[in-house]
Amino acid sequence: MIVVAAGSGTRLAAGAPKAFVPLDARTILEHALDGVYAARPACVVIVVPEGLTEPATRMARSRGALVVHGGDTRQRSVAAGLAALPDDVETVLVHDAARALTPPAQFAAVAAAVGPGVGVIPALPVVDTLKRVHGGAVLAPVDRAELAAAQTPQGFPKEELLAAYALAAREGVAYTDDAALFAAVGGAVRHILGSEEAFKITTPHDLERARMILSSSSSAERDIPRVGIGTDVHAFASGGTLRLAGLDWPGEPALEGHSDGDAVAHAIVDALLGAAGLGDIGQHFGTAHPEYAGAHGDVFLARTAEILAEAGFEIGNVSVQFQGNRPRFGARREEAERALSDALGGAPVAVSATTTDGLGFPGRGEGIAVTAIALVHSAR
């Protein structure tokens, strides 16, 4: 998905590039990304004005987005975003950051309707009576039944959109949206029903409207806490020393794993990321992040707490239970709870343990299984 946010916002005239204008405690771009990420895109490229790539990269770090700088027209900005997309992407959605309150379902509906040779745009019927005018004169009525107001995200098969952009660049032709550019090379474009909430923040009045929508909905939504669940299973290795729940366990064999195998810490990481809707452990700490190979669970926990804080979440509490014959937890429960809580920056963590009556792999002593749940809430 490409999110274009490189415009200057001339018509808004709010003293900063439009995407960086605040709606509440957060900017237009940050709100736009909430909707984008709620739709679980495989990859997001944010296109921002030159000179703002660094702050945007910091802001987008916890989300894992790529940030590139745009051009002097929307078309050039989209082209910059397209150039940064990974090769394996098949469907591209291009979205205006200025449509900050676009509902997540609109992204999913557009993506689902894209097919070979077919682009898709969300659009709304036009409600006003329309006139063709010239200067001060009204020339003729226009049949609004034939018209629709286009929104974003607009979705296309990537290879065909790339080809269309390459051609438009060669011919030096300017288009106002991606659908027009795609259609100009013979692509078919279909429309699905857009939504009122996806309006584009263009004028100061639009900004007021967006702020009012947020202030009326957010006071109710903000206070609803969110829960997440995480599980992890690791086999015992033949040697080494066990690292579990943030503690060393001399005399107990280590667990297998890409990192230290601390299944208690890993289950908590997944529960926290899940609660905040920020992905999972593989995405943030997996094999694509070699800097975490062999890392201790505490490092994962500390970084997870940071990721949540950057996204505006506070941790309420965490409860975690492991199933296994060993280690014997009773005597070290408080120590483990303290270690895990410290790693999370102080949030309460409760640890419990149970055996499985000899059943299954934990009962046979082959490994352990851990389940964690976490509660988080908005810090604002």
Nearer to ligand CTP, 200 or 296 (CB): 200
Residue 209 interacts with ligand CTP (CB under 6 A): yes or no: no
> Which of 341, 333, 279 is CA-nearest to residue 308?
279
Binding mask 91-110 for ligand CTP (x = CB under 6 A): -----xxx------------
Residue 73 interacts with ligand CTP (CB under 6 A): yes or no: yes
**Cβ within 8 Å of residue 222, ≥6 positions away:** 378, 380
Q: Given phi > 0 = left and psi -120 to 50 = alpha, else beta, which region is 118?
A: beta
Binding mask 16-35 for ligand CTP (x = CB under 6 A): --xx----------------
Nearer to Mg ion, 7 or 155 (CB): 7
The gap from C-alpha 3 to its chain's centroid, in whole angstroms, comes to 12
Residue 10 interacts with ligand CTP (CB under 6 A): yes or no: yes
Are the CB atoms for 291 and 300 separated by under 8 Å? no
Residue 5 interacts with ligand CTP (CB under 6 A): yes or no: yes
The alpha carbon dihedral of 185, 186, 187, 190 has a sign of positive
156 phi, psi to nearest 5 deg: -150, 155
Classified as helix, coil or strand, 184 is helix
Pick what 8 binds: Mg ion, ligand CTP, none; C-beta below 5 to 8 Å, kind-dependent: ligand CTP
Nearer to ligand CTP, 46 or 340 (CB): 46
| Residue showing the smallest CB distance to Mg ion in the complex | 7
Nearer to Mg ion, 10 or 287 (CB): 10
Residue 47 interacts with ligand CTP (CB under 6 A): yes or no: yes
44 phi, psi to nearest 5 deg: -125, 130
* Stretch binding Mg ion (CB under 5 A), from 1-9, 199-207, 213-221, 261-269: 1-9
**For the packed helices 28-38 and 104-113, what is the interaxial angle rounded to 10 degrees?**
50
Residue with tokens 């005239």, as numbered in its chain: 13
Residue 7 interacts with ligand CTP (CB under 6 A): yes or no: yes
Residue 72 interacts with ligand CTP (CB under 6 A): yes or no: yes
Are the CB atoms for 295 and 261 separated by under 8 Å? no
**Cβ within 8 Å of residue 227, ≥6 positions away:** 275, 373, 374, 375, 376
* Stretch binding Mg ion (CB under 5 A), from 6-14, 82-90, 181-189, 328-336: 6-14
Are the CB atoms for 133 and 67 separated by under 8 Å? no
Classified as helix, coil or strand, 131 is strand
Pick what 11 binds: Mg ion, ligand CTP, none; C-beta below 5 to 8 Å, kind-dependent: ligand CTP
Pick what 323 binds: ligand CTP, Mg ion, none; C-beta below 5 to 8 Å, kind-dependent: none
Nearer to ligand CTP, 99 or 266 (CB): 99
Pick what 195 binds: Mg ion, ligand CTP, none; C-beta below 5 to 8 Å, kind-dependent: none
| Cα-based angle 232, 233, 238 (whole degrees, multiple of 5) | 140
Nearer to ligand CTP, 14 or 237 (CB): 14
Nearer to Mg ion, 7 or 49 (CB): 7
Are the CB atoms for 184 and 190 separated by under 8 Å? no
Kindly list the residues in this chain that would bind ligand CTP in the complex (CB under 6 A): 4-12, 18-19, 47, 70-74, 77, 96-98, 200, 202
Kindly list the residues in this chain that would bind Mg ion in the complex (CB under 5 A): 7
